[in-house]
């Protein structure tokens, strides 16, 4: 996967700029608040089809403008592609792919693959389970359309079941209906659980190898899928039955609480370093290495599944890493396209293939580095 060009029109603080990226390492350099992250946000938008920074997409339109556009030209192994996203004030966003309007988002998922690593990901280990579920879902949704469908389906069923639980509080006759929702929830839930289980097992192997290489220690990083139903890995059918039994057993509590207390919406990933939970015992350095290893593992999962390397986006991460970790990343990045940002170019040990100097939403100048 290689980006050839990114054109931003009235996107955030960019009025009209085109980035022509090199196939190797691209550095966006500049002082604070100049537009470096805005550019990364636009690229990652083309993978997730939403912003990872804001919920209200109108905020992406340049102050005072009516309309913003992102145009991404890239090569994905199949050929040269163009994705265009148009944002208008007060209207839903529009997508075009190779010039044709696309109305179903799922048709675009996975077309452009990138992996993002920002300082915010360093909270992945210490914060609540929702962060780790988001990490999982972000990756799985772009890899597997059926997963995306089932996840949306599960959320819909969960909402309906919760509404019914609240009705049951005042009218017990409604309780019979719960059985239908239990069946549906267990069906979608078991599908999701199986995919999460397999994905985390694969990720764990890659992350362990990356961790050893990054930390240069014999500490073993391990990721374990944590669900409230069982401690051991089970097949889909077994999970479905366990889930149904749990829903039946918890029914009174669920009604009293007015919500479903168990299911894949409570899942977590247990992150262990040499057998100890990193959430409670890890140092800052260990966390940095572990998250980096998990992110590189995510990239590995995409390339092994899709046969194409995702573009790597490192926002404000590299200058914080010591020489050894930086060198490791540069070695890993050989042959992959990378876009990284920094406000301290002096701290980046290798200057990559192309540097864009960003100033007030403009590319002030570029520098290409031979070899
Ligand atoms: N919709 C918008 N219209 C115009 N300008 C915007 C809009 N949204 C954000 N900005 C401006 O973009 C700038 C921030 O850009 P960005 O987050 O890319 O900075 P950065 O270069 O990554 O800085 P840092 O090094 O601090 O992370 C701010 O000046 C902000 O006011
Ligand atoms: Mg930034």
In the reported structure, the alpha carbon of residue 223 is separated from the centroid of ligand 1 by a whole-number distance in angstroms of: 35
- 356, β-bridge pairs: 28, 366
Tell me how far apart the alpha carbons of residues 314 and 75 are, in angstroms, rounded to a whole number: 20
Give per-residue pLDDT as tens, 305-324: 888 899 999 999 888 788 88
**Of 46-50, 62-66, 83-87, 196-200, where does mean pLDDT reach its minimum?**
46-50
Relative to beta strand 25-29, strand 14-20 is unpaired
DSSP annotation of 258: T
| Phi-psi label, residue 289: left if phi above 0, alpha if psi -120 to 50, beta otherwise | alpha
Instruction: Residue 321: name the closest of 278, 289, 353, 355 by CA.
Output: 289
Q: Whose CA is nearest to atom 2 of ligand 1?
A: 12
Helix (H) or strand (E) holding 276: strand 276-277
Q: Whose CA is nearest to atom 30 of ligand 1?
A: 33
The residues, ordered by sequence, that sit 6+ positions from 115 with a Cβ below 8 Å of its Cβ are 295, 298, 299, 302, 310, 311, 312, 313
CB count, 10 Å around CB of 134? 12
- At residue 335 the predicted structure's pLDDT band, cuts being 50, 70 and 90, is confident
Pocket test for ligand 1, best of 9, 19, 34, 44 (most atoms within 8 A of CB): 34
Give per-residue pLDDT as tens, 119-134: 999 999 999 999 999 9
Tell me how far apart the alpha carbons of residues 149 and 12 are, in angstroms, rounded to a whole number: 31
Helix (H) or strand (E) holding 38: helix 36-48
Tell me how far apart the alpha carbons of residues 355 and 366 are, in angstroms, rounded to a whole number: 5
Q: Tally the residues of the chain.
A: 371
Give per-residue pLDDT as tens, 87-125: 999 999 999 999 999 999 888 988 999 999 999 999 999
Question: In the structure encoding, which two tokens stand for residue 177, read together?
Answer: 């209906």
Instruction: Residue 81: name the closest of 53, 107, 117, 52 by CA.
Output: 107
- Ligand closest to 36 (CA) is 1
Tell me how far apart the alpha carbons of residues 356 and 28 are, in angstroms, rounded to a whole number: 5
Cα Rg for the chain, rounded, in angstroms?
Answer: 22
The residues, ordered by sequence, that sit 6+ positions from 49 with a Cβ below 8 Å of its Cβ are 95, 105, 108, 109
Q: Whose CA is nearest to atom 26 of ligand 1?
A: 32
- Ligand closest to 59 (CA) is 1
**Is 201:270 a contact under the CB 8 Å cutoff?**
no
Instruction: Give the atom of ligand 1 at the shortest distance from the alpha carbon of 59.
Output: 1
In the reported structure, the alpha carbon of residue 34 is separated from the centroid of ligand 1 by a whole-number distance in angstroms of: 6
Burial class (CB in 10 A: 0-12, 13-18, 19+), 350: middle
* Domains defined for the chain, CATH in brackets: 1-113+309-371 (3.40.50.300), 120-307 (1.20.1050.90)
Per-residue model confidence (pLDDT) at position 371: 61
pTM score: 0.92
Helix (H) or strand (E) holding 82: strand 80-88
Give per-residue pLDDT as tens, 144-189: 889 999 999 999 999 999 999 999 999 998 899 999 999 999 999 9
Strands ordered across the beta sheet of 100-102: 14-20, 2-11, 67-75, 80-88, 91-97, 100-102
Instruction: Residue 193: name the closest of 239, 158, 238 by CA.
Output: 239
Instruction: Give the atom of ligand 1 at the shortest distance from the alpha carbon of 41.
Output: 18
Give per-residue pLDDT as tens, 263-290: 999 999 999 999 999 999 999 889 999 9
CA 173 to chain centre: 43
In the reported structure, the alpha carbon of residue 316 is separated from the centroid of ligand 2 by a whole-number distance in angstroms of: 6
Give per-residue pLDDT as tens, 221-262: 999 999 988 888 889 999 999 999 999 999 999 999 999 999
Pocket test for ligand 1, best of 6, 9, 10, 12 (most atoms within 8 A of CB): 12
Mean pLDDT in residue range 70-89 = 95
**Is 367:341 a contact under the CB 8 Å cutoff?**
no
Q: Whose CA is nearest to atom 13 of ligand 1?
A: 33
Tell me how far apart the alpha carbons of residues 349 and 326 are, in angstroms, rounded to a whole number: 7
Per-residue model confidence (pLDDT) at position 231: 82
What's the half-sphere exposure (Cβ side, CA atoms, 13 Å) at 166? 7
Question: CB within 6 Å of ligand 1 — which residues?
Answer: 12-13, 30, 32-38, 59, 61-63, 316, 343
User: What distance separates the 2 farthest-apart alpha carbons in the chain?
Assistant: 75
Per-residue model confidence (pLDDT) at position 178: 95
**Is 347:17 a contact under the CB 8 Å cutoff?**
no
- Ligand closest to 41 (CA) is 1
Tell me how far apart the alpha carbons of residues 261 and 58 are, in angstroms, rounded to a whole number: 35
Give per-residue pLDDT as tens, 138-156: 889 888 889 999 999 999 9
**Is 289:211 a contact under the CB 8 Å cutoff?**
yes
Instruction: Give the atom of ligand 1 at the shortest distance from the alpha carbon of 30.
Output: 21
């Amino acid at each position: 996967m290689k980006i050839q060009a990114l054109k931003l029109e009235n996107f955030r603080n960019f009025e009209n700029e085109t980035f022509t990226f090199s196939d190797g390492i691209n550095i966006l350099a500049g002082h604070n608040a100049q537009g470096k992250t805005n550019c990364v946000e636009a690229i990652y938008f083309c993978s997730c089809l939403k912003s990872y920074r804001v919920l209200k997409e109108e905020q992406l339109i340049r102050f005072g403008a009516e309309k913003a556009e992102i145009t991404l030209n890239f090569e994905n192994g199949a050929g040269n592609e163009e994705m265009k996203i148009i944002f208008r004030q007060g209207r839903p966003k529009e997508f075009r792919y190779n010039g044709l309007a696309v109305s179903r988002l799922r048709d675009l998922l996975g077309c452009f693959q990138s992996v993002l690593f920002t300082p915010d990901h360093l909270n992945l280990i210490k914060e609540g389970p929702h962060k780790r579920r988001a990490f999982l879902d972000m990756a799985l949704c772009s890899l597997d359309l059926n997963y995306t469908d089932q996840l949306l389906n599960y959320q819909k069923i969960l909402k309906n079941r919760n509404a019914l639980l609240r009705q049951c509080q005042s009218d017990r006759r409604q309780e019979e209906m719960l059985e239908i929702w239990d069946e549906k929830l267990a069906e979608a839930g078991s599908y999701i659980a199986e995919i999460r289980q397999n994905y985390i097992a694969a990720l764990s192997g890659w992350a362990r190898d990356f961790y050893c290489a990054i930390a240069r220690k014999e500490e073993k990083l391990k990721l374990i899928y944590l669900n409230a139903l069982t401690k051991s890995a089970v097949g889909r059918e077994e999970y479905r039955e366990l889930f149904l039994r749990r829903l039946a057993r918890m029914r009174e509590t669920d009604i009293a609480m007015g919500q479903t207390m168990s299911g894949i919406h409570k899942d977590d990933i247990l992150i262990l370093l040499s057998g100890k939970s990193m959430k409670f015992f890890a140092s800052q350095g260990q966390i940095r290495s572990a998250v980096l290893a998990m992110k590189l593992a995510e990239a590995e999962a995409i390339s092994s599944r899709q046969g194409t390397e995702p573009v790597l986006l490192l926002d404000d991460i590299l200058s914080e890493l010591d020489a050894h970790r930086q060198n490791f990343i540069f070695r890993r990045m050989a042959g992959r396209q990378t876009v990284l940002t920094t406000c301290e170019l002096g701290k980046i040990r290798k200057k990559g293939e192309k540097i864009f100097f960003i100033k007030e939403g403009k590319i002030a100048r570029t520098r290409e580095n031979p070899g």
